[in-house]
Structure 1
């Protein structure tokens, strides 16, 4: 398998050095600059990290020893990397954190070497990836199309082979949507499963989670194992029960991938049955997420002293909506979140996991969902239509694993498994059953530095 685990094994076996791998990754950054995946690069940091990895004693090496790693330009901070949340106004300040967030510090202990930042739309407000003031990010499978968002730069970097694994965040589908657009694997962890400290800047009332995008289930499993916090795990029965839910709005290729993945699970010995898609819960979750995102953005811009004329029109409109939201409305949304969480958990009374599409259609053309408009209603409706039910896992605090299953019209198609809180590793086990039975993908580019 060609993934971060294989790359680390090649370094451990001395087939290639960490420094040689990093040089290959840096070369790929420059050769594929037109993808717009990487928005900040520190080559000195890259080479220093690789040199240190090459002299580290074998007994101190982690599972991803010497593997280059890119951090998303939004979410937990990484030491020395000036994250700007896709905002030109924040980017101009160039503030470099003096420490890692807890999650990124734990990932660093696995041997990953951070050396740059990947693109995101301004403030993570889209499921595509057009940062403010710099070039939009393209999909390596078809540069005319978006790689998804908001972790679009991370997805483009991994699918394009610049790195084998990259940091990603998910507040309303932002790990799973780019995974589906680019043929990758990504887990939105359970609420509370991964650390958000020390500053909890990406807390968003509990709807956001962070982890990685990668090319394999085993890479995501290793990453989760390195950062997971103590919580009661959910175990699968000997014959897992999987419910298949197909939203009416999904195009044929998306529904077919979910049906084919269901057949793979049935072949693996799972009990598989169809259920009605929880679309009502999905729409309700989307509205709750919208309220939280708008209020968060208003507070964020105020705290940074950034005026509405310094951000894209849609971001300004969302911030205005947030400032106009009474505390009573926000309180009601949080209470509704608790109620929706309870109702969502009831979906698993007769199923261990729910299998459904991630997207309603193939990725749209770059720029289709940018922030140039001024109507939050229209923008948010288009996001929900593109990724129906994506926000359900976020608002209800459920783990959700996206992974590819097949191709359609030259593009990978993604499916997702959603489980009850604490079922993160259980979903990864189910995901492995799907992965081993899925059609093999031939990525547009090999992983930089991985020996053939």
Structure 2
């Protein structure tokens, strides 16, 4: 069989279709890579290798990715009869399993994917480094002393190291894009409601969270989103339909797009992050875009993060109450990481009026932000894209966020992620692309943001940048 280590999911699926490889062979190759490489990274916290072998040997759905192995994040994407522990020790120790499949898991299966296990996450996904108390920290394959990002850090490390071609990820404030930036992957955050949370959840974090994947290629990101974006009956709202499948946007002409290159910062930007954005601007000009300095009104409004934090706190309090029902007992504060105990306390103190006021403030703020992409607000033509750094600095060393103590940890997290959460709240699609590396070999991503519902624009541009500045041949020092 062809060595599949660095083939993307699309190429692996083609091997199965052509008869050059079987699903069982793809699964065995991926298991071997995980067993060999993961002890250095701690990306995979729980395997289901035996089940995947049985599934590969049986009848599989005849989807476009039939037989391709993938990993699921240990947060959401429930599989009936199996555990999803949300990075917690209490669910892990209790052996809790979920009664139903999520719609997302069903769509992954229908596409033909085989699940090999679960990847490491920070507890409840409420921070941007994967260093949970319940498990060993996930290490970055580009330098194992550094963070792989979060909350999809385990998924990102596994894909970047060549264990699997693709992995489930989710994003409530940057958790697809941030680990993609830190691990040199493609991380596409879909438009709000493009991917259903059903059947168990309508929305979470006031509509800020969404699911997707982390990939090594733009074509994989586009093809998978095509397959997991069918709305489920009863969803509270749905994303606007795309003009055609996203797979057809790969290689399509970019056109003369108007691009705003972020020209305002909340603090002192990292030179590498600024270099990455400037280089992206040059590449965009090369592919035919019109690039100019610009920043949306409200981008760094301090009130935004306070209001968003209130909605997260309410959701954590609700989620913990759900877990208590599953456990049949209270979850004590000393079973939680301090960050999440504080979120729960804040959520429990909040009145319904407080919560609705926070959502109203976010709604008004989002309208200010949306004006950047609105033609009437921009001399007859709105911007098609905004380009920013994905994060505020290259991947930090493990332990850096907590090293200054609990009072400073939140400030360090906020200073590191000033560019991503805004677009969870506006609901806009955004993508991180691996367009820069530091002198010592750490990746730095660049974020592109399109108007609400316009993943088609992101995919066209991302594919053009992938061709203009290829990253597929780069390999991290720790890899299969």
Whether TM-score is above 0.5 comes out as yes
User: Does the residue aligned with 1:193 lie in a helix, a strand or coil?
Assistant: coil
The whole-number CA distance in structure 1 between the counterparts of 2:196 and 2:479 is 29
Q: Where does the alignment leave 5 or more consecutive residues of structure 1 unmatched?
A: none
Please name the residue that 1:383 is paired with: 413
Equivalence for 2:430: 400
- Which of 397, 401, 406 is the aligned partner of 1:369? 401
- Alignment equivalent of 1:425, drawn from 446, 456, 459: 456
**More moved, 143-152 vs 231-240:** 231-240
Q: 1: CA distance between counterparts of 2:203 and 2:77?
A: 7
Equivalent runs, 1:267-416 vs 2, <5 Å: 267-276=286-295, 280-281=299-300, 283-303=302-322, 304=324, 305-349=330-374, 350-369=382-401, 374-375=406-407, 378-408=408-438, 409-416=440-447
Partners of 1:403 and 1:416 within 8 A in 2: yes
Cα distance in 1 for partners of 2:403, 2:344 equals: 13
Structure 2 equivalent of residue 159 of structure 1: 160
Structure 1-normalised TM-score? 0.92
The alignment yields a C-alpha RMSD, in angstroms, of 2.3
On the 8 A contact 1:74/1:123 being kept in 2, the answer is: yes
Could you state the TM-score of these two structures normalised by the residue count of structure 2?
0.86
Pairwise CA distance, 1:231: 3.9
Q: Is the 8 A contact 2:391 2:419 kept in 1?
A: no
Query: Any gaps of 5 or more consecutive residues in structure 2?
Result: 1-5, 232-237, 244-252, 325-329, 375-381
- Look up the match of 2:109: 108
Shift of 1:234: 6.8
Q: Matches of residues 210-221 of structure 1 in structure 2 within 5 Å?
A: 210-221=211-222
Q: For 2:386 and 2:242, how far apart are their aligned partners in 1? A: 14
Evaluate the alpha carbon distance shift between residue 279 and residue 252 of structure 1 in structure 2; reply closer, same or farther with a 3 A threshold.
farther
Q: Secondary structure at the match of 1:143?
A: strand
Contact 2:296–2:369 (Cα < 8 Å) also in 1: no
Q: Deviations over 1:208-241 (max 9, x none)?
A: 0111000011111011101224643577984111
1:439 Cα deviation from its structure 2 partner: 4.2
Paired residue for 1:47, among 49, 53, 62?
Answer: 53
Greater mean deviation of Cα atoms: 235-244 or 285-294 = 235-244
Secondary structure in 2 matching 1:210: strand
Going from structure 1 to structure 2, the CA distance change for 1:445 and 1:16 (only over 3 Å counts) comes to farther
Greater RCO, 1 or 2 (C-alpha within 8 Å, sep 6+): 1
Question: Which deviates more from structure 2 when the two are superposed, residues 339-348 or residues 138-147?
Answer: 339-348
- Is 1:314–1:371's contact at 8 Å kept on the other side of the alignment? no
CA contact (8 A) 2:191 2:428 kept: yes
Q: C-alpha distance in 2, partners of 1:390/1:204?
A: 15
The answer (yes or no) to whether the contact 1:234–1:426 under 8 Å persists in 2 is no
- Counterpart in 2 of 1:244? 261
> What secondary structure sits across from 1:172 in the alignment?
coil
Distance in 1, Cα, partners of 2:202 & 2:95? 18
Question: Hey, what does 1:257 align to over in structure 2?
Answer: 276
Check if 1:8 corresponds to 2:13.
yes
Equivalent residues of 1:250, 1:359 under 8 A apart: no
